[in-house]
Chains A and B, each alone.
Chain A
């Protein structure tokens, strides 16, 4: 069970309080109508599945209800950093 630091609450809480909401930084196209079916399909369905560093969207569901981003190693489960929505990760895969 992960031990997660919520950047909004400012403290470590148990994983039970959080949900993972999938890959982070998937921006909704600003002009959906301008997207081809393929582009829309890629936005909708295609996600990374890396072995190693991954940027994920999490929500402190049973806490402050705020979403935030997490950079996590999918192999070791180390959490490298958490950062707020709108911010960019400082730890990135090579």
Chain B
């Protein structure tokens, strides 16, 4: 393949290093220094996409982040697929594989294109809402059709092989953009001794200077760039970040920078390198030197490949040595558009005409074109383009002075490239990210950064200052201001001399009129990526959408991955005209992070896979793994769920574990329960205020169960607290509720009752807890301690400081299974050793490890609640039938007391926790099932409550359930029905939730 559009010399490419790349399965050549886009243009590739809605062929329009069409899929393998890559920002490397994403079967012969052409008139703005919203049940079908037709890029199906990471940075001055303004600011700040970070999205610093033939101090401007970069590199406190897009400007001068470290080298990052890095910067001051994006003009068929913006044409010629066509027509509203024609002529190709919408404009650039003998057609416009897959010609006509109407006759010119300039839009995106509203400037013909509370300065193109000399001066001024603000002295900087050109006033014109009214003219595109036309915006306005935010949502303008960088202002201008308002009256445009799309890998950094979420293990975790336990996630904890033996189903495991506890002895790792150490002379008083029951008389050596309620009276946690000393307690919480309870105690102590002398400390991880439970548990404990653990010496609800397996232990005689139980707490370091001793000694007693599921079954047989499963924030202690756990004798109005005495909490017929026994003992009611009184009654059936816990009880030989029933405590023996999703109905009898050993004799032996 030849590079037919490549110049033989010039540009910043290295012709001695040819590179091979693939586009849609075909191989092409480019050079080191190319972007994918410049290499495609060098090879004469016209069509790079099919449009979203109408499936029209699209070509490359721009040369940077604002490119709307050349958004490609990259990746040589499935694992390295990257969607939404702008070819204009992707540096070429050898072996690069790219593909267009829209168009089926290909962008050149596209089936949807035919449909799009036929259906064009049937796809008005809002067509998604109008066409696809109903019936809702078909949305999934529609969505996949739209995706396939629209060709949005796809994520890889395999694991990303690359590594990404994040780095936190701090600096005095963060400079965004390394064009003339940014470099001048950086040089100033660096010389003044500030800590500086300067980032630019391009592969090398220089910004607009890289794209032009401009001179500074009588030498090519890039020489000045090189000297500045060299000097900046010598400072220890200056960080230079090329290939780094500042994607977000967040509150309090926090910025996120997306650095692409190896995307320019290969499909996959070289060994031991990080592909992309997210810099999280906290800057004292920020200088935005982000430049400006050129606006294309809106005219009929302005999306035919070959239609570009003038700045991009100059950039491809000057920077990449590529002339993207043979015969150029320029249409411009300003002097800058002339530069493309001058560069085109310098490259030796034909300039057909410069069509200037202004009647008479005299500036240095217009005169240069005139002196070159270029054909300038004033007071006119390109009203229409001919061609489908490439421009073949243009129609030029005279314009009225305001630009509102076509006057005079139409002349047809032959051309293959149309470059337009409607002026420049300052890149204010970052300034908008923190909520600052931009301000319209009539003289700039664009939005400028608005007032901000951030410590932010701006310089150059972002201020609508497009002359290099002014940009340099503004950069220097920003640098000096930043130095002063951070307390450093003025720096000594002399700027290079830039030639200041005379510039004639630009014309404020966005939408070129046609002979026909907009609604009947060929399509005039405003937003290429979402296929929004001027006619579409007019329809939206006619249909009553007046606010630009609504117009945008209705038409989808600006909703593509380019966020409407090229089209938004033009769209606002069209809407303003349709609404007979000015642009600022129509509204402002708001941008949000991220400036350009970011790979998920860069966002998540190292926090992927095993590091995605911290996992907490108990000291005995390794043993559980070795026993083949299945695990359950409880908060961040990994808890053994059950321990299947060979060939066992889950239910068989549970049955075996349950029966072992009831008949012999079981062992549970209970280390994950939250444990909070409470000390201080007012600790007891404090407990009385945060628990619903009484604590005044709990003796040293005793334990007590407590319910914790919110101020609304609703239960949110429970657990056992032991009295270790007169002023010393240890509280246990649910595994998942520990952090919340801990903060709950602190907030009440610090904000409501600071006068109480009490201290809290989390000791969850300090202790390992092995619970042995079952009739044989005492015999087992006796084997490992010299202490007298008989029922006479170690009573139910006592705790003892004893030695177990040679290790000091706090042993609590409390029970969550209803069986004789001992909870053995030892320092976590000893947890595994004591556990193993218990296992060893327990063999002869039938000791069986059990997990959380068996624990749930056993406690449900006893009617014990699990906070969070049998509570949902809407039940108070009385609803749970736990009035015994409420003390109304306490002098202090504890948390929850007032709440649970609200009129709604004391009314009749509240949902109350009861047991439910199915008529068919084998049926287990699904948790969450709703109860009704008459399943055959008139619909909708009135729901009486729901099932919160439900299991098969091997102990009892029938299913058991706990659930809520309106007025349930007064309805013992009555029947309720649970209609299931499959149409069947389960009948159940309301009963006490205590199914097993209702007198509690087994735990008390």
Contact = CB atoms under 8 A, between A and B. Distances in A.
Interface of A: 1-3, 14, 19, 21, 27-28, 31-33, 35, 37, 40-41, 43-44, 57, 59, 61, 65-67, 73, 75-79, 85-86
Given A40-B902, A44-B712, A85 B254 contact: no
B435 A86 contact: no
From A28, A31, A79, residue with most partner B Cβ within 10 Å = A28
B754 A67 contact: no
B750 A85 contact: yes
Contacts, number: 62
Nearest to B451: A76
B747 A37 contact: no
Contacts of A31: 893
B908 to A, nearest CB: 17
Nearest to B892: A32
Contacts of B453: 73, 76-78
Given A2-B251, A77-B252, A37 B752 contact: no
Nearest to A33: B893
Binding site of B, secondary structure by majority: helix, strand, loop or mixed?
mixed
Nearest to A65: B746
A42 to B, nearest CB: 12
Contacts of B898: 32-33, 35, 40
Contacts of A3: 251-254, 282
Contacts of A61: 743
8 contacts: A3-B252, A3-B254, A33-B893, A61-B743, A67-B751, A76-B435, A76-B453, A77-B453
A33 B711 CA distance: 12
Interface residues of B, number: 24
Given A1-B252, A59-B747, A77-B252, A37 B893 contact: no
A46 to B, nearest CB: 13
B250 interface: yes
A19 B251 CA distance: 17
B163 to A, nearest CB: 23
A32 B751 contact: no
B144 interface: no
Interface of B: 250-254, 282, 434-435, 453, 711-712, 743, 746-747, 750-752, 754, 893, 897-899, 902-903
B281 to A, nearest CB: 11
Contact of B711 (A44, A75, A86): A44
B752 A28 contact: yes
B854 to A, nearest CB: 35
Contacts of B750: 66-67, 85
A40 B900 CA distance: 11
Given A67-B746, A67-B750, A37 B251 contact: no
A40 B896 CA distance: 11
A44 B899 contact: yes
Nearest to A35: B898
A40 to B, nearest CB: 6
A37 B453 CA distance: 43
A85 B753 CA distance: 11
Contacts of A85: 750-751, 754
Contacts of B254: 1, 3
Contacts of A76: 435, 453
Given A2-B252, A3-B282, A44-B711, A59 B902 contact: no
B150 to A, nearest CB: 34
A40 B904 CA distance: 13
A1 B251 contact: yes
A70 to B, nearest CB: 13
A49 to B, nearest CB: 17
A43 B893 CA distance: 15
A41 B902 CA distance: 9
B743 A59 contact: yes
Nearest to A4: B252
Contacts of A32: 893, 897-898
Nearest to B762: A65
Nearest to B748: A28
B551 to A, nearest CB: 25
Contacts of B434: 77
Contacts of B903: 37
Given A27-B752, A33-B897, A67-B747, 10 more contacts: A1-B252, A2-B252, A3-B251, A37-B902, A37-B903, A44-B899, A67-B750, A77-B252, A78-B453, A85-B751
